[in-house]
Amino acid sequence: MAQTLGSRGYATSGIGSHIFLGKRFGLQNGFEEYDSELIKHYNQRRESHAQISSERLSDKAIDWIDQADEDRPWFLWVHYFDPHHTYQPHEGLTHGEEPVDLYSGEVAFVDLHLKRLFQHLEEAGLDENTLVLFVADHGEEFQDHGGWMHRRTLYEEVPQVPLILRGPGLNPARVTQPVSMVDLAPTLYELLNIAPPAGLQGRSLVPAMRGETMTPAILIAELEGPKPVDAVRQGPWKLVIDPIDFSHELYNLDEDPGEQNDLSKDHPAHCATLLKALRTKLKQAEVGEGSRVELSESDRANLEALGYGGQ
């Protein structure tokens, strides 16, 4: 989006806060400005995970907005990272010492500093002509299915994340229909009245935001690494499958949102249909190699220490 909007005259800026977002990995492409000051010490393992950065991130975002050219539209991406292991305590916001208590305190801390950013938009008179999209990349597991954190399972506590969109002409509403992150760019392009780039995956969610019923999409998730897992969902049905030995589980999320009752033996036809849909979607996603970064031994050691090893 930074590239597309930049080509249309938008000022574009990104503010990162984690080692994966360093300029060496290419995410800054398309941004006129890319602030990586808060990306800490890549060669010191878990350094970014241990930082508390939300206050600085909102300060940086507010400063950039204040200095932005009033005659140009702008696109600003800010990456908040605090609600992520290692969980840090926050005075007055953290209530308890268990991992879930620390995590809740981290979420409250980010909320506090997001509020400052949103209030500043209002105080600057920008809230009525600014689209705000808030989304997370994953949730965390707290023994829901026997594990901790993420990158271990694809049960709903991990891929089900917040998605909030506010902007001119959008009436307050809650959309319960499941959607995918690949839908975000098409949605923003429609709201901005900009034709999306050719080949863009996903679909605009604007009809659903207007109260219209959309055909349930096929949603997929992939977890790579030493113990890979795939998941596919359409409507209430969700198939979780091991792509190596093809062991699988089937759930009806309307009746069993906690995914406790595996129905795969009772509904083999549903399993076959969803597996075929998964393979089709994955085939459609094979669009080329993309860019590559050569990893040093230090890079690999850091990734493995953070739980992101594997192929």
290 located within any domain = no
In a domain, 65, yes or no: yes
Parallel/antiparallel/unpaired status of strands 11-15 and 74-78: parallel
| Domain boundary, last residue among 217, 244, 260 | 217
Higher pLDDT, 149 or 60: 60
Domain boundary among 168, 196, 217: 217
Under DSSP, the state recorded for 121 is H
Is 268 inside a domain boundary?
Answer: yes
Q: Quick one: angle between helices 54-67 and 99-123, nearest 10? A: 10
The structure's pTM equals 0.86
Closest CA relative to residue 205, chosen from 242, 239, 176: 176
Bridge-based pairing state of the strands 219-223 and 74-78: unpaired
230-252 pLDDT, tens digit per residue, is: 999 999 999 999 988 889 999 99
Bridge partners for 133 per DSSP: 165
- Local confidence band at 224 (pLDDT 50, 70, 90 cut-offs): confident
- Let me know if residue 297 belongs to a domain: no
Is 56 contained in some domain? yes
Q: What is the pLDDT of the chain when averaged over all its residues?
A: 88
CA–CA dist 163, 63 (Å, integer): 25
Rounded CA-CA distance 176/236 in Å is 12
Asked whether residue 67 falls in the same domain as residue 197, the answer is yes
Q: Which range of residues forms the domain containing residue 202?
A: 2-217
Question: Hey, CA dihedral for 300, 241, 217, 176, is it positive or negative?
Answer: negative
Query: Is residue 290 very low, low, confident or very high in pLDDT (cuts 50, 70, 90)?
Result: low
Q: Is residue 307 part of a domain?
A: no
Same domain, 75 and 102: yes
CA distance 295 to 293: 6
Does 105 reside within a domain? yes
Return phi, psi of residue 233, to 5°.
-135, 140
78 and 145 together in one domain:
yes
* Same domain as 234, residue 142: no
* Residue 86, preceding peptide bond in cis (omega within 30° of 0): yes
Question: Where is pLDDT greater, at 122 or 198?
Answer: 122
Kindly state the tokens that stand for 39: 């990306």
Please check whether residues 205 and 233 belong to one and the same domain.
no
Q: List Cβ neighbours of 120 (8 Å cut-off, separation of 6 or more).
A: 62, 65
First and final C-alpha spacing in the chain: 28
Based on the domain organization, do 103 and 190 belong to the same domain?
Answer: yes
111 and 254 in a single domain? The answer is no
| One domain for residues 107 and 244 | no
Higher pLDDT, 59 or 36: 59
Q: What is the 3-state secondary structure (H, E, C) of 242-254?
A: CCCCCCEEEEECC
3-state secondary structure of 193: coil
pLDDT at 95 over 60: yes
Domain closes at, from 217, 233, 261: 217
226 shares a domain with 167: no
Tell me the CATH number at 259.
3.30.1120.10
- Decide if pLDDT at 180 tops 80: yes
Q: What is the pLDDT of residue 248?
A: 94
Same domain, yes or no: 275 and 193: no
What pLDDT is attached to residue 151? 74
Q: Which tens digits make up the pLDDT trace of 161-178? A: 999 999 988 888 898 888
Q: Which of 14-28, 54-68, 199-213, 252-266 has the lowest mean pLDDT?
A: 14-28
User: Are both 187 and 39 inside the same structural domain?
Assistant: yes
CATH of residue 25's domain is 3.40.720.10
**In the prediction, which pLDDT does 249 show?**
95
Within 10 Å of residue 106's Cβ, how many Cβ atoms?
A: 26
Number of domains in the chain: 2
- Return the pLDDT at 301: 65
pLDDT, residue 286, reads: 65
Do 138 and 244 lie in a common domain? no
The answer on pLDDT for 46 being more than 70 is no
Contact 220, 276 (CB under 8 A): no
Q: CA–CA separation, 131 vs 194, rounded Å?
A: 14
Indicate whether 244 belongs to any domain.
yes
pLDDT at 254 exceeding the cut of 80? yes
